[in-house]
Amino acid sequence: MDLLRLLSVDGTLVGAAPIDVAETRRLFAAMVTARVYDRKGSALQRQGRLATYAQFEGQEAAQIGSAAALRADDWMVGTYRDAAAMWFHGYTWDNLLLGRMGDERGGAPPAGVNILPPSITVGAHMIHAVGLGWAERLRGSDRVALTYFGDGATSEGDFHEAMNFAAVFVTPTVFVCENNGWAISLPRARQTASQTIAEKATAYGMPGVLVDGNDVLAMVAATGAAVDRARRGEGPTLIEALTYRMGPHTTADDAGRYRPGDDVEEWRTRDPIDRVRQYLQGADGWDQGWEDDIAALAGSEIEAAVERAESLGPLSPDAMFDRMYARPTAVLEDERRAMFRDEGTP
Amino acid sequence: MTEISMARALNEALDMALASDDRVVLLGEDVATTGGVFRISDGLLERHGAARVIDTPVAESGIIGAAFGMAVAGMRPIAEIQFLGFSYPAFDQIVSHVGRIRNRSNHRFSAPLVIRMPYGGGIGAAEHHSESNEAVYVHTPGVKVVVPSSPADAKGLLLAAVADPDPVIFLEPIRLYRAVKEVVPEGHYTVPIGEAAVVRQGADVTLIAYGAMVRDATAAADALAVDGIAAEVIDLRTLSPLDHETIVRSATATGRVVVTVEAHRTGSVASEVAALVQERALYSLLAPVERVTGYDTVVPLKRSERHYMPGVDRIVAAARRTLEA
């Protein structure tokens, strides 16, 4: 299967750019900002200020490039590693951080932003994007639903059920597989005997596209085509974004136990941000001062978000009883009283 | 007024839900063209169209996962799983997502879907078709579990389930689908979720049941009445959230409780009721709480299923033991 690539590794444009330089600068700035967040997330975890954190370094183009193809009211259903895409589509840093701090208030995107809180179980969420898009179509809306998942998730039965339902019911769903090479310790080659993940689409009767996931322009082009197709009512598309997980699975993982450092260094030469920087340099769309300003602004915005998240008032100890149903049941009210009795509080 | 079966009452409720709210869709295996393996959705495809009455591929996780997505997007899907015993491929969707999205999103999203599942034994069906594993869903936070025992309740509870802002697992006792007919109110009405019904009043012993076992409990009450024993019969109707007050009030009044389920004994709703009664009514009890249940075995096939099913005789015997204590 051919690989869609518009920017070569050295930043040379090798195809038709789907967006102009101004829009490319916007996506570059977003990728730089996302990386600042990602490194901050790891640092905060080491300081004990976040629970386990899942880095996405190396996957910025796969996430930002695909998210850029969405309309503001489209649905996004991703995983714990999709913070860059979620933020770009409207989730706040505050709430992404709150979730990692172990606070359920982080699970809500702002009003009007249609992003489900990230799925922790692997694979079950892809079918949700099928139902979301299906509902929009039934209600006469042209919103589409995009779902992110990793190469590991394609081994789950729910991948099959989601792909099959989407194709059978012609739902406006865009499947974006961020093939980052690793499912914790298991390499892609042992996840599936298929040569590519994209070719699995053929069996379901939908188009599959293999894309250089570290090429933001290719991601914009491929996802844009898939989103347009879905919005026209022509059904789902599977996009395989070939990328690489530069970090461990999470801060609780030691990737040195199972993967050679050479591979990581090899992929570092294909960094998704370096590539766009070189491209923009050639198009007179970049200078160091501008990038430094972006990184500085990102740093201060994210630092402010950390402060807001850390200084948010504590959750009421009985808030868990209020989140289960629209109104707590009588049984939960009994349990709430019992909790307060046992804890000796109100 | 004509008398109708539970199957007919459920069909009426589905028809009414589809007609009155365009957010309602029906989806599941064989629900459209054939009207479901029990014909509960018979005629609904013709009346409401293929966009809203949907035959799906054979994929339980897909059905529930897609219905979940629809519900989050503002629809009111009614998903059918062909038998409770076929729901396990969808278990992860129900436990990990359907029951959690409100909590996970801090109320920003909810999943108001209804999951209909025929369940229970007594008809000599093939393996997996007679299961009564409702306790696993009762143990699942964030979903409600409802079981009707009469045509009128079936219609009112199903319409209440569709209107409920939270997910409802709606279990339909297979052996009651066409076993009895009764006059069912016309038009739209609801039976409140979370409220048990006292279907017969009595001062001597409380018989607690739900689903098909309500009929057996009522027959047991008839048999006990011959000997002058007045049994109160409670139909739980909702298993989650359980109506603690009705159970405790009756147990306190009679001092004797028999709870019967056709489910496996260990960890069953009968166990929960027994625990509740000892917590809240121990000092009113005149005898140990009796559980009349299925066994912790696979439901036997047709030739020996009757040895598994708790019937009228076992309920009567248990009630007599409480009176002799």
Q: Which residues pair with B79 in a beta bridge?
A: B27, B115
Within 10 A of B42 (CB to CB), how many other CB atoms are there? 17
**Closest residue on chain A to B55 (Cα):** A169
Number of A:B CB contacts under 8 A? Answer: 142
CB B193 within 8 A of CB B160: yes
> Rounded distance, CA B186 to CA B140, Å?
34
Q: Is the peptide bond before B167 cis (omega within 30 degrees of 0)?
A: no
Percent of chain A with pLDDT over 90: 97
End-to-end, the C-alpha distance of chain B in Å comes to 46
Looking at the fold, whether A192 and A332 belong to one and the same domain comes out as no
The pLDDT assigned to B83 comes to 96
Domain B197-324 has CATH 3.40.50.920: yes
> How is residue B122 annotated by DSSP?
S
Looking at the fold, whether A236 and A121 belong to one and the same domain comes out as yes
The reported pTM is: 0.97
Looking at the fold, whether A260 and A309 belong to one and the same domain comes out as yes
Q: Domain total for chain A?
A: 2
Looking at the fold, whether A208 and A255 belong to one and the same domain comes out as yes
pLDDT of A345 > 90? The answer is no
Within 10 A of A170 (CB to CB), how many other CB atoms are there? 17
Q: What is the pLDDT of residues A131-144, one digit of tens each?
A: 999 999 999 999 99
**Closest residue on chain A to B57 (Cα):** A165
Which of A105, A128, A139 is opposite residue B68, by nearest beta carbon? A128
Cβ of B65 within 8 Å of Cβ of A124? The answer is yes
Domain of A36 in residue numbering reads as: 3-315
Looking at the fold, whether A200 and A341 belong to one and the same domain comes out as no
Cβ of A124 within 8 Å of Cβ of B97? The answer is yes
Which of A105, A124, A324 is opposite residue B92, by nearest beta carbon? A124
Q: Which residues of B1-15 are buried (b: 16+ CB within 10 A; e: fewer)?
A: eeebbbbbbbbbbbb
Sort out which chain A residues have CB atoms less than 8 A from B56's CB and list them: 165
Q: What is the CATH number of the domain that holds A68?
A: 3.40.50.970
**Overall size of chain B counted in residues:** 325
Sort out which chain B residues have CB atoms less than 8 A from A132's CB and list them: 69-70, 72-73
Looking at the fold, whether A254 and A337 belong to one and the same domain comes out as no
Q: pLDDT per position in chain B (325 positions), as tens?
A: 799 999 999 999 999 999 999 999 999 999 999 999 999 999 999 999 999 999 999 999 999 999 999 999 999 999 999 999 999 999 999 999 999 999 999 999 999 999 999 999 988 899 999 999 999 999 999 999 999 999 999 999 999 999 999 999 999 999 999 999 999 999 999 999 999 999 999 999 999 999 999 999 999 999 999 999 999 999 999 999 999 999 999 999 999 999 999 999 999 999 999 999 999 999 999 999 999 999 999 999 999 999 999 999 999 999 999 999 8
**CATH H superfamily, domain B3-183:** Thiamin diphosphate (ThDP)-binding fold, Pyr/PP domains (3.40.50.970)
Q: Give mean pLDDT, residues A244-267.
A: 92
> Rounded distance, CA A160 to CA B250, Å?
50
> Rounded distance, CA A218 to CA A225, Å?
11
Looking at the fold, whether A291 and A333 belong to one and the same domain comes out as no
Cβ of A157 within 8 Å of Cβ of B25? The answer is no
Looking at the fold, whether A45 and A153 belong to one and the same domain comes out as yes
Which of B65, B105, B241 is opposite residue A330, by nearest beta carbon? B241
Looking at the fold, whether A99 and A78 belong to one and the same domain comes out as yes
The pLDDT assigned to A5 comes to 98
Sort out which chain A residues have CB atoms less than 8 A from B110's CB and list them: 326
Residue of A103, A324, A333, A336 best to disrupt the B interface, most CBs of B under 10 A: A324
Per domain, the residue ranges of chain B are 3-183, 197-324
The pLDDT assigned to A331 comes to 97
pLDDT of A346 > 70? The answer is no
pLDDT of A38 > 90? The answer is yes
Write out the two tokens for A267: 């992929």
Cβ of A133 within 8 Å of Cβ of B69? The answer is yes
Domains B3-183 and B197-324 share a fold: yes
> Rounded distance, CA A151 to CA A182, Å?
7
Write out the two tokens for B234: 């409670």
Question: Chain-wide mean pLDDT for chain A?
Answer: 96
CB A54 within 8 A of CB A318: no
Helices (H), B203-265: 213-226, 244-254
Looking at the fold, whether A177 and A99 belong to one and the same domain comes out as yes
